[in-house]
Amino acid sequence: MKKLIRNFLVFFLVFIAIAALFSSFSQADEVKTVGIETMVQELNDSQIKSLVVTGNEIQVELNDGSKQLVQKESGESLSALLNNFSVDPEKLKTVTVNVKEPSGWNYWLGVILPFALPLILVGFFLFFMMRGAKGMNSSAMSFGQSNAKDFNLDNKERVTFKDVAGAKEAKEELGEVVEFLRYPKKFQDLGARIPRGVLLLGAPGTGKTLLARAVAGEAKVPFFHMSGSEFVEMFVGVGASRVRSLFQKAKKQAPCLIFIDEIDAVGRRRGSGMGGSHDEREQTLNQILVEMDGFEITQNVIIIAATNRPDVLDPALLRPGRFDRQVVIDRPDLKDREEILKVHVKKKPLDKEVDLKRIAERTPGFSGADLANLLNEAAILTAREDKKSIGMAELFSAIEKVMIGPERKSRIINDKEKKITAYHEAGHALVAYFLPNSDPVQKVSIIARGQAGGYTLKVPTEDRYFHSKSDFLDEIAVLLAGHLVEKEIFGEVTTGATSDLRRATAVARSLVTDYGMSDTLGPRTFGQKEEMIFLGREIHEQRDYSEKMAEQIDAEIAAFIAEAKVTADRILKENRQKLDIVAEALLKQETLEKEEFEALLA
């Protein structure tokens, strides 16, 4: 669009220039144009000193020195003209008549321009249109080119392993890749085949992209970054040709690093597709495989790919010679979280009393990206409060914001709803407090946050990787507590417990179908998680069990929920007074911290 306007402007200016030029020719130094009759009259009156004929023009100079211009018909000679007007030949004797060859560019322009101007205009039009079309054309051509971002080495934003906190094993593993890139000869001399591809596996935000950049930064080699989804475009065949051009570019710059982010976008298992885009993806994937096989032994290009869905990758990608090295990046544990926080607070002023270890303790399950986000939120909060350095209060507040969503203090709740929320949350908190396998309650609040009307924050005391059946049953009991309290106290339930129930059901289902924790159904899983995309919807589960089994699964899920309900009910009945105390405290001060909550129950 901008280009079009610019073209139009240029065009317009040229037009004006030509028009100006043209008009400047026709108005030669202020000579009055008169009709032929006037000239004839003047001749008869002997007022004329000389006549100069140039083509169709007759320049008349009068005796008093003034000049006039007369247009005559072209092709008609002056004598014939004068004859026609029957001018007295005697009168002409005193007049000098000059006939000039109508020459000079001035004249020719005058003759040619009227014909040429439309042609020139049309020519300009064509020229600009062609140019526009060519521009479009060339951008269509460049579809096939990879637009991989090539990170410059001298870039000030060079990332090294120092910028990646924790992830010790991953760094060790990738340290080897750095060696390969820096001293390939050392390995080649021993006949070792340098690994071609490294696959980084890990949950979103665990630092896969960051690590890949750090490898390039450490090895000091060029780094081509491309996301899997960038290969797939509207046009069929673009992906494959992009892959080709990416690898070509990389080969020219070897040693270097190619990083394909989110490779699952193209590297999904082939042959399971139902939609049209699958052909395109398969072609792209095939091209990646072909390119990876096509390297010379001596070509020192290493490909790092990242995904958080290793389960959907095509097995051909993982075979030796391709992405045979796999580096798993876990969610950071307590110590790693503290390290990551330390990396990210470097440019942020902190209060003296800030203890990052306590923040790390409060954030199990957070990924590196979550932690970076948390510090950013804390900084924003601090700025909003016009403080100069970030304090512990802002950090805690930011944790909750990242976990549950922003506080919505402005949401006006009527007293009835407030009371319901208070009892609902008190119920969650109370059951969590009394169940041995539940995480301790960190905070209870009836301030709306994100989607939730209120929330009970539970934080595990330590990082845990495994969970037992009793953990899950207690979790279900805690989730049901809100619903049960509402029914007990107010006689009916509200929609506020919907997501609790959904979660409880999902946990119970996983217990049966994924973890094999049901005694009646035995140690097996139900349903195959398979990835298929049909009409834009992902169909996840494939049944590998009979109708009869399905009924039993449903019965088993119901049994687990019933069991948890009994537990929750019992705790709530036994502690009815405490429930009132907590709910009242919540109504009064809206938020209870761990210490206040525990003091109330003691």
| Beta carbons of 476 and 564 less than 8 angstroms apart | yes
**Residues 293-312 contacting ligand ADP, CB under 6 A:** 306
Min dist CB 308 to ligand ADP, Å, is: 7
Q: Quick one: which of 537, 476, 539, 541 has its CA closest to 502? A: 476
Q: Is 206 in the site for ligand ADP (CB under 6 A)?
A: yes
Measured from the Cβ of residue 443, the count of other Cβ atoms closer than 10 Å reads 20
Structure tokens at 84: 């026609």
Min dist CB 579 to ligand ADP, Å, is: 41
Alpha-carbon distance values, 517 to 115, 206, 435, 567 (Å): 93, 30, 20, 18
| Beta carbons of 228 and 262 less than 8 angstroms apart | yes
Min dist CB 166 to ligand ADP, Å, is: 5
Mark residue 60 as left, alpha or beta (left: phi above 0; alpha: psi -120 to 50; beta: remaining): beta
Instruction: Determine the Cα–Cα distance for residues 161 and 175; give it in Å rounded to an integer.
Output: 9
The residue from 51, 81, 151, 208 that contacts ligand ADP (CB under 6 A) is 208
531 is catalytic: no
Partner interacting with residue 202 (select from Zn ion, Mg ion, ligand ADP, none; CB below 5-8 Å by kind): ligand ADP
Q: Is 307 in the site for Mg ion (CB under 5 A)?
A: no
From the list 291, 425, 475, 486, the catalytic residue is 425
**Residues 69-98 contacting ligand ADP, CB under 6 A:** none
Instruction: Determine the Cα–Cα distance for residues 281 and 240; give it in Å rounded to an integer.
Output: 9
| Beta carbons of 284 and 329 less than 8 angstroms apart | no
Instruction: Determine the Cα–Cα distance for residues 32 and 30; give it in Å rounded to an integer.
Output: 6
Q: Which residues contact 104 (CB under 8 A, 6 or more apart)?
A: none
Q: Which residues contact 527 (CB under 8 A, 6 or more apart)?
A: 513, 541, 542, 543, 544, 545
- Name the closest residue to Zn ion (Cβ): 482
Partner interacting with residue 500 (select from ligand ADP, Zn ion, Mg ion, none; CB below 5-8 Å by kind): Zn ion
Min dist CB 369 to ligand ADP, Å, is: 4
Report the chain's C-alpha Rg in angstroms. 43
Min dist CB 148 to Mg ion, Å, is: 15
Identify the H or E element spanning 208.
helix 208-219
Min dist CB 427 to Zn ion, Å, is: 8
Q: Is 217 in the site for ligand ADP (CB under 6 A)?
A: no
Partner interacting with residue 239 (select from Zn ion, ligand ADP, Mg ion, none; CB below 5-8 Å by kind): none
Min dist CB 302 to ligand ADP, Å, is: 18
Instruction: Determine the Cα–Cα distance for residues 166 and 86; give it in Å rounded to an integer.
Output: 113
Instruction: Determine the Cα–Cα distance for residues 457 and 397; give it in Å rounded to an integer.
Output: 12
| Beta carbons of 28 and 64 less than 8 angstroms apart | no
**Residues 343-402 contacting Mg ion, CB under 5 A:** none
Task: Name the residue nearer to ligand ADP (CB basis): 244 or 309.
Answer: 309
* Choices 278-286, 353-361, 367-375, 511-519 (CB under 6 A): range interacting with ligand ADP: 367-375
Partner interacting with residue 257 (select from ligand ADP, Zn ion, Mg ion, none; CB below 5-8 Å by kind): none
The residue from 148, 166, 304, 446 that contacts ligand ADP (CB under 6 A) is 166
* Choices 52-60, 162-170, 529-537, 571-579 (CB under 6 A): range interacting with ligand ADP: 162-170
Q: Is 406 in the site for ligand ADP (CB under 6 A)?
A: no
Q: Which residues contact 475 (CB under 8 A, 6 or more apart)?
A: 438, 504, 507
Task: Name the residue nearer to Zn ion (CB basis): 332 or 482.
Answer: 482
Q: Is 165 in the site for ligand ADP (CB under 6 A)?
A: yes
Instruction: Determine the Cα–Cα distance for residues 368 and 166; give it in Å rounded to an integer.
Output: 10
Instruction: Determine the Cα–Cα distance for residues 560 and 546; give it in Å rounded to an integer.
Output: 21
Structure tokens at 409: 């203090």
The residue from 146, 206, 209, 513 that contacts Mg ion (CB under 5 A) is 209
The residue from 250, 372, 402, 571 that contacts ligand ADP (CB under 6 A) is 372
Q: Is 334 in the site for ligand ADP (CB under 6 A)?
A: no
**Residues 101-160 contacting ligand ADP, CB under 6 A:** none
Partner interacting with residue 442 (select from ligand ADP, Zn ion, Mg ion, none; CB below 5-8 Å by kind): none
Size of the site for Mg ion (CB under 5 A): 1
Partner interacting with residue 204 (select from Mg ion, Zn ion, ligand ADP, none; CB below 5-8 Å by kind): ligand ADP
Residue type for 298, please?
Answer: T
Partner interacting with residue 184 (select from Mg ion, Zn ion, ligand ADP, none; CB below 5-8 Å by kind): none
The residue from 18, 113, 121, 343 that contacts ligand ADP (CB under 6 A) is 343
Min dist CB 213 to ligand ADP, Å, is: 8
Q: In what order do the strands lie in the sheet with 441-445?
A: 455-458, 441-445, 591-593
- The rounded Cα 212 to chain-centroid distance in angstroms is 19
Q: Is 368 in the site for ligand ADP (CB under 6 A)?
A: yes
Partner interacting with residue 489 (select from ligand ADP, Mg ion, Zn ion, none; CB below 5-8 Å by kind): none
Residue type for 403, please?
Answer: M
Measured from the Cβ of residue 554, the count of other Cβ atoms closer than 10 Å reads 12
Residue ranges binding Zn ion (CB under 5 A): 482, 500
Instruction: Determine the Cα–Cα distance for residues 527 and 530; give it in Å rounded to an integer.
Output: 9
Size of the site for ligand ADP (CB under 6 A): 18
Q: Is 283 in the site for ligand ADP (CB under 6 A)?
A: no
Instruction: Determine the Cα–Cα distance for residues 48 and 106; give it in Å rounded to an integer.
Output: 26
Instruction: Determine the Cα–Cα distance for residues 375 and 344; give it in Å rounded to an integer.
Output: 7
Task: Name the residue nearer to Zn ion (CB basis): 210 or 497.
Answer: 497
Instruction: Determine the Cα–Cα distance for residues 406 and 576; give it in Å rounded to an integer.
Output: 32
Instruction: Determine the Cα–Cα distance for residues 321 and 319; give it in Å rounded to an integer.
Output: 6
Identify the H or E element spanning 93.
none
Task: Name the residue nearer to Mg ion (CB basis): 219 or 306.
Answer: 306
* Choices 80-88, 156-164, 209-217, 591-599 (CB under 5 A): range interacting with Mg ion: 209-217
Q: Is 452 strand, coil or helix?
A: strand
Task: Name the residue nearer to Mg ion (CB basis): 209 or 438.
Answer: 209
Q: Is 164 in the site for ligand ADP (CB under 6 A)?
A: yes
Q: Is 283 in the site for Mg ion (CB under 5 A)?
A: no
The residue from 202, 391, 453, 496 that contacts ligand ADP (CB under 6 A) is 202
Instruction: Determine the Cα–Cα distance for residues 70 and 34; give it in Å rounded to an integer.
Output: 5
**Terminal CA-CA length for the chain:** 72
Q: Is 210 in the site for ligand ADP (CB under 6 A)?
A: yes
Q: Which residues make up the interface to ligand ADP (CB under 6 A)?
A: 164-167, 202, 204-210, 306, 340, 343, 368-369, 372
Q: Which residues make up the interface to Mg ion (CB under 5 A)?
A: 209
Q: What residues act catalytically?
A: 425
